[in-house]
Amino acid sequence: MSQVTEDAGWANSATPAALRPPLAQATLLRLFCISQLKGAGVGLTLCLSSAVLALFYAPALDVLAWLSLVIGSLYLMQRSARRVLAEPGSDANLWTLRLASIGALQSLLLAGLLLLPVQMSTVAHTFLVGTLLMLTCLISLHAIALPIAFHATLAPATLAMAGFLIKAQGAEGLPLTAVLLCAYLCLALFASQQRAAMEETFSAQADQQSLQGELQRAFERANEARRLAEEASLAKSRFLATMSHELRTPLNAILGFSEVMKNELYGAHVVKAYKDYCNDIHASGSHLLTLINEILDLSRVEAGRYDLQEETVMLGTVAQECQHLMELRANEREQTIITAIEPTLPGLWADGRALRQVTLNLLSNAIKFTPAGGRIELCVGWTANGGAYLSVRDNGPGIPADEIPLVLSSFGRGTNAQKSEEAGSGLGLPIAKSLVELHGGRFAIHSKLGQGTQVIAVFPPERVMTQGKKLSAAA
């Protein structure tokens, strides 16, 4: 991975060959060696074919001698390329110079074709130059990855051909020599463009592999974070379960004995203040037990361990029962609870205990923050898309818009709650919201300062037990 990344850094720059990072040079060297090995068969075939054709113009012994030297240089190049691939940790710059030297030797040996004793004629000149040009171009194209090796392979043979044409044809050979040199420049330009495309390809591959590495590391970090979160959640659940048992056991005793004492079941108190103290003890214990139950409920919901005991529940009936339970508390504050329940609303497929807790929490909040003589509206009805809703509206001081997310968070208490004489845990609304969302519903608060607050729990149409759904369930 580090090699590919450093190669990509070089590929996006114009650094000279002498200043390339070692890893980038090593990559180009390996590409050169792979290209040499793949093109070995084609090069050998062309050399043999050229030697067979040369037999028509030159003595067989001279042709065989030339062919043997060329094949020897090809073998030396293949052997060196295999050694480089077998030793990836070798000095890239040193091997680049060695292979460039072998390429120059190949070029000179190929140019030896021009030294064969042939009868000089236009046909012979064309054959020798054309054959040498073809062999040189082929071998040099396999050296594109290393610029120094490319020019070392192409330049000696090109100069030899130019000198041969000028010597054999004199001034008449100058046009062909110029064409030959132009061909050299064009081939060098082509090789440069191919290297640029090769470098861009490696840069893209390096970026892709780097991105894959980053994704893999991010995935591993996410897995580790998930594992730690699961362990923390398990530890929290164990802690809450333990504390629930440890706190509820003495609380039950406190509540039981304080109730006996405040009701004076075994005789009146000699000092009247003792009865007031017992009332305070019982009220404080009840408040603490309620707080413990709320924390446990919220922790179960957040951990996904709250199992809904679903059945057909009449939402209107639940609302009326809760209204009766909270009536006494509202009367103590001279508040009025008005109900508006849709009589045609069918049953709701839901957890009855959860719906009662949602309704009681909403009514309790409304009573707590509505001033004496205030008005509270409890509504149950249809939604526009066939679902059901439960709404509690009061004419209290309202909630600032920027505090609504706060009051929906665990233990969040807004400005009005902090000023209220009645202490709260800040868990009523979060628990109600979580229970509604467990049913696939939506929970929303609409409030303006000085205009009261409306809290709406909306249940989806899938929860409403219409006649068709009842028949389907029965079937």
Q: How far apart are CA 26 and CA 31, in angstroms?
A: 9
Q: Residues 261, 148: one domain?
A: no
Which residue intervals of 112-173 are DSSP H helices? 122-141, 147-169
Q: Residues 247, 207: one domain?
A: no
pLDDT at residue 427, rounded to an integer: 79
Q: Are 380 and 390 in contact (CB under 8 A)?
A: yes
pLDDT at residue 423, rounded to an integer: 54
Q: Residues 272, 352: one domain?
A: no
Q: Residues 397, 426: one domain?
A: yes
Q: Are 109 and 77 in contact (CB under 8 A)?
A: no
Q: Residues 339, 448: one domain?
A: yes
At which of 185, 217, 249 does a domain end? 217
Q: Residues 212, 316: one domain?
A: no
> Is 288 exposed, middle or buried, given 0-12, 13-18 or 19+ CB atoms closer than 10 A?
middle
CB atoms closer than 10 angstroms to residue 72: 13
Q: Residues 151, 280: one domain?
A: no
At which of 161, 186, 217 does a domain end? 217
- Minimal CA–CA distance to 135: which of 6, 46, 263, 222? 46
Q: Which two tokens stand for residue 137?
A: 């171009």
Q: Are 468 and 427 in contact (CB under 8 A)?
A: no
Domain count, the chain: 3
For residue 276, the surrounding DSSP H or E stretch is helix 272-302
CB atoms closer than 10 angstroms to residue 89: 6
Can you tell me whether residue 220 is helix, strand or coil?
helix
At which of 285, 302, 319 does a domain end? 302
| CATH label of the domain that carries residue 456 | 3.30.565.10
Q: How far apart are CA 430 and CA 214, in angstroms?
A: 37
Can you tell me whether residue 313 is helix, strand or coil?
strand
Look at residue 46 and tell me if it is in a domain. Answer: yes
Look at residue 261 and tell me if it is in a domain. Answer: yes
Range of the domain at 269: 234-302
SS (HEC) of 18-73 = HHCCHHHHHHHHHHHHHHHHHCHHHHHHHHHHHHHHHCCCCCHHHHHHHHHHHHHH
Look at residue 225 and tell me if it is in a domain. Answer: no
Q: Residues 64, 29: one domain?
A: yes
Q: DSSP code of 91?
A: -
pLDDT at residue 335, rounded to an integer: 93
Q: Residues 297, 365: one domain?
A: no
pLDDT at residue 247, rounded to an integer: 76
Look at residue 224 and tell me if it is in a domain. Answer: no
pLDDT at residue 351, rounded to an integer: 92
Q: How far apart are CA 234 and CA 457, in angstroms?
A: 30
Q: Residues 39, 125: one domain?
A: yes
pLDDT at residue 254, rounded to an integer: 87
pLDDT at residue 21, rounded to an integer: 43
Q: Which residue has the tokens 């919901």?
A: 301
Look at residue 229 and tell me if it is in a domain. Answer: no
pLDDT in tens, the chain (475 residues): 334 343 434 334 444 444 344 346 788 888 888 888 888 888 888 888 888 888 888 888 988 998 999 899 889 988 998 998 888 878 888 888 998 899 889 888 888 888 888 766 667 777 777 888 888 888 888 888 888 888 888 888 888 888 887 877 777 778 878 888 888 888 888 888 887 777 777 777 778 888 888 999 999 999 999 998 888 877 776 776 677 667 777 888 888 888 888 888 888 887 888 888 888 888 888 878 877 777 777 777 766 667 788 999 999 999 999 999 899 889 988 999 999 999 889 999 999 989 999 999 999 989 988 988 999 999 999 999 999 999 999 998 888 888 888 888 877 776 665 555 555 567 788 889 989 999 999 999 999 888 899 999 999 999 998 754 543 443 4
SS (HEC) of 316-356 = HHHHHHHHHHHHHHHHHCCCEEEEEECCCCCCEEEEHHHHH
Q: Which two tokens stand for residue 70?
A: 């060329």
Look at residue 210 and tell me if it is in a domain. Answer: yes
> Is 234 exposed, middle or buried, given 0-12, 13-18 or 19+ CB atoms closer than 10 A?
exposed
Q: Residues 179, 288: one domain?
A: no
Give 169-175's long-range contacts (Cβ < 8 A, gap of 24+).
169/125
> Is 73 exposed, middle or buried, given 0-12, 13-18 or 19+ CB atoms closer than 10 A?
buried
Q: What is the DSSP string of 1-24?
A: -HHHHHHHHHHTS---GGGS-HHH
Look at residue 338 and tell me if it is in a domain. Answer: yes
Q: Residues 202, 261: one domain?
A: no
Residues written for the chain: 475
Look at residue 407 and tell me if it is in a domain. Answer: yes
pLDDT at residue 219, rounded to an integer: 92
